Amino acid sequence: MSLTFSDSKKPGVPLIPLRKADLDAWLAGLNDAQRSWAQAAGFKAAAGEVLALPQADGQVALAAVGLGDKQTASRHRFVISAARGKLPDGTYDLTTDQLDADELAEAALGWLLAGYRFDRYATAPRPKAQLKPPAGVDVKRLEAIAAGEALIRDLINTPASDMGPAELEASARTLAADFGATARTVTGEDLIAENLPMIHAVGRASDRAPRLIDMTWGTSGPRLTLVGKGVCFDTGGLNIKPGASMGLMKKDMGGSAAVLGLARMIMSLDIPIQLRVLIPAVENAIDGCAFRPGDILTSRKGLTVEINNTDAEGRLVLADALALADEEKPDLILSMATLTGAARVAVGPDMVPFYATEQDDAATVISAAQRVRDPVWQLPFWDPYETMIEPGIADLDNAPKGAFAGSITAALFLRRFVTDSPRYMHFDMYGWQPTAAPARPKGGVGQGTRALLDALPELLGI
């Protein structure tokens, strides 16, 4: 799917973003016929409201899209993108004098994302309205972000029947081939031979072999390692989930989708870093060889882990991948995972809680997230809760009892496997848009990736 702007040389119909406060002055500047048309249509410049004004031959002379008021601006993102599905077929030219640089970039990106459709299994007509690249935006960057986001959405939206560990590997290899990266995979029993025992333990009950996907790109610059949870379907294992809780478990590989989408953005923009992407790809299934509650597993790091719930499997596979990443001591390790329901209770589906070992890194990401309207919220690596993940019979507990601080204790668990690298950040994402919104149809969605992309120059000093 190509999410791109139209030819900049094409003539375009003016598309005017309009705040409620500016409506009267704008109406006064129209000719009598246009003003009468706008008033008859009841146009109030509400958020996402669209007005197309005709010329004598019936073609669109100009169009306006409402931005609403100040309260609307704080409640909605990608408002202008709502116009794309409402405007007639044609090429439009967004006027920019009403928008600052960040608003303009958001508007242009939102327009591209509004063209996304997941049409692998059913026809999904795309909007016909096209947009010329607005003056002042970085076209290459926005199109790269849109392409990365489309990859994230496609991977998450694909059901587990067609997106198991092997298919996730194939997607990573295709991406690597497209950008001259190198991909290596450790599969099945070879995980034991290469000391990745917890990835093997979680995935061994499935007839779809578990694996570690290892992709590298770039030969110079700071070293960044992305680690993404790739649980392609999660039954909960022997601690089986209720049926209602399995309905969205195709998205439990959302962390792997996010790091692949972010990697695509980085590579397509040729950001001067050394990039490594690690994805433990498994299916948490049930069979006679499934790992059990009460088992004690030994991790790559040498730490032992008591299994108190087989449905807390994501942190197990991430732990081995993080330990592998840590051995190389990159400048920064980032993990992304659909890890805990506790994160959703804390901040809901829109916002991504994240953790950082360095407060300066957290501040950088928060600032970037605000600029690009990709909301995140910092939660603490709260040291006093460390005892909650120490069961006594083993070094670590994969599922502490009680209902408190579930996202924090999971993050603390992961931090135990990053001991030698200077900086680590973890994002506990949802990866799903529960109801359609401008530029975000119901389904898989990227979260935190645009904030991280914007933050990378400061995070890595490039």
Could you report the per-residue pLDDT of 127-140, keeping only the tens digit for each?
999 999 999 999 99
The pLDDT mean for the chain works out to: 96
Name the DSSP class of 80: G
* Residue 24 confidence class, pLDDT cut points 50, 70, 90: very high
Amino acid identity, residue 330?
A: P
pLDDT of residue 70: 83
Burial code of 389-420, b = ≥16 C-beta within 10 A, e = fewer? bebeebbbbbbbeeeebbbbbbbbbbbbbbee
Would you call 259 helix, strand, or coil by DSSP? helix
d(CA 78, CA 105): 10
Give the pLDDT band of residue 74 (cuts 50, 70, 90): confident
Residue 435 makes CB contacts below 8 A (sequence gap 6+) with 442
Query: Hey, is 195 helix, strand or coil?
Result: coil
Check whether 1 has a pLDDT greater than 60. Answer: no
Beta bridge partners of 22: none
What pLDDT is attached to residue 72?
A: 80
**Segment 337-355 mean pLDDT:** 97
What is the mean pLDDT of the segment spanning 422-431?
98
Residues identified as active-site: 241, 315
- Beta strands 274-284; 211-217: pairing state: antiparallel
pTM score over 0.95: yes
pLDDT at 102: 94
Q: What pLDDT is recorded for position 262?
A: 99
Sort strands 443-444 and 432-433 into parallel, antiparallel or unpaired.
antiparallel
CA quadruple 321, 322, 325, 326: dihedral positive or negative? negative
Q: In order of start, what are the domains of the chain with their CATH numbers? A: 13-115 (3.40.220.10), 142-460 (3.40.630.10)
